Each structure stands twice: as structure tokens, then as C-alpha cells.
Amino acid sequence: MAILKILQYPDIRLHTIAKPVLEITSATRKLIRDMTETMYAAPGVGLAATQVDVHQQIIVIDVSETHDDLLVFINPEIIMCDGEVKREEGCLSVPGTYEDVTRAERVTVRALDQQGEVFSLNAEGLLATCIQHEIDHLKGKVFVEYLSQLKQSRIRAKLKKHQRETL
Ligand code: K1U
Ligand code: ZN
């Protein structure tokens, strides 16, 4: 397995729209293993392929404290959403920034598993927020885009400064 490099905002590659996975191969499964290792090592509770510069519709999520409830979604689609909730979000591509975002409180997601079988999952709480955050990544959207232009430019300036200093 391998730890992959996570793209950092404002890298323009984070705005790439991911393509659907047409065939699940051994390379797809290796990518999923590497994404999972990268997410746990970060540490984070989710990771989208976009964040490791692979523009395929794949996400991994584990919101458990014990790292034993891995969920893998290939070609995920939200087929139902309900309610509204404001929750603090972070992002491995935007280190050090935590901001409130309002999203659907409950979602139903339909996706393929690693065997190519279709499944649906009803989610609420942090899992529902995380699913929406990761699907946004696949659409090229980073959570800071829900914030004001002023906050976005402050975050961009802070991260660019940090990136210059750590070059
Ligand atoms: O997409 C990502 O960059 C992962 C992101 C997912 C997420 C977290 C919270 C709300 C919405 C989406 C993260 O995992 S940020 C790190 C984080 O939340 C965390 C890290 C260690 C332990 C617990 C949480
Ligand atoms: Zn993120």
C-alpha cells in the first residue's frame, strides 16, 4: 500500500470533474487501498479520488473512532435528501481551516461497491455531511466555496503563504 500526496487548495486540479468508473479492475482496488491508507494516516474521515489527483468517481469514508467501518462508494449519487443542518467541516486539502457549512441533514446515496454491485445507504449526522462533502470533491467543488468571498480569499492567502514558507 502507499500514502498518496493530497492536493492542497487552491490547486486548480481540485476543480476537475471526475469521470464515472466504467470497469472495476485490480488497479481500481489498489487505488481504493491506497486512498484508505492515506485517509487513515492523514488522519481524516473521508477522501475523494480528486484529492489525490485521480479524476474518477471514487470515495472512501470511515467516521468510526476505531477505523473499522470503511465505506467505499464508486460512482456515488445522492438520490434523496431531507432537512437542513449546520455542521463544522474540515478538509484534508484545506489544512487548518474549520468552518460551518449548511447541508442536507439526511441523504440516501446509491453507488457501486468494489465488486460492482449497486447498493443504497441512508445516512445522517457526520456520515451524511461527509458523503455530501466528498461527492462535492468529485464535482470539483471544495467546501470553502460555500463561504463568503472574503473568507475564501483569506483562506487562499493563508494557504499560499504557508505553501511558500514550506517550499
Ligand atoms: O474530504 C476531506 O478532506 C476529508 C474531511 C472530511 C470531512 C470532515 C468533516 C466534515 C466534513 C467532511 C476530513 O476528514 S477533515 C479531518 C477530520 O474531520 C477529522 C480528522 C481526524 C479525526 C476526526 C476528524
Ligand atoms: Zn475535503
Q: Is residue 35 part of a domain?
A: yes
Q: Spell out the SS3 assignment of 87-133.
A: EEECCCCCCCCCEEEEECCEEEEEEECCCCCEEEEEEEHHHHHHHHH
Tell me the HSE value of 125 on the side-chain side, using a 13 A CA sphere. Answer: 5
For the stretch 89-101, pLDDT in tens is 999 999 999 999 9
Choose which residue among 45, 124, 142 to substitute to test ligand 1 binding: the one with the highest number of ligand atoms within 8 A of its C-beta: 45
Q: Is 10 in the pocket of ligand 1 (CB under 6 A)?
A: no
Q: Is residue 95 part of a domain?
A: yes
Whole-number Å distance between alpha carbons of 117 and 147:
37
88 DSSP β-pair partners: 100
Q: Is residue 6 part of a domain?
A: no
- CATH number of the domain at 127, please: 3.90.45.10
Domains identified in the chain, total number: 1
Q: Is 142 in the pocket of ligand 1 (CB under 6 A)?
A: no
Q: Is residue 2 part of a domain?
A: no
Q: Is residue 32 part of a domain?
A: yes
Q: Which domain holds residue 149?
A: 12-166
Choose which residue among 91, 131, 143 to substitute to test ligand 1 binding: the one with the highest number of ligand atoms within 8 A of its C-beta: 91
At residue 112, what is the residue type?
L
Q: Is 36 in the pocket of ligand 1 (CB under 6 A)?
A: no
Residue where the block lists cell 475523494: 48
Q: Is the pLDDT of residue 163 over 90?
A: no
**Quick one: what percent of the chain has pLDDT higher than 70?**
100
Q: Is the pLDDT of residue 1 over 90?
A: no
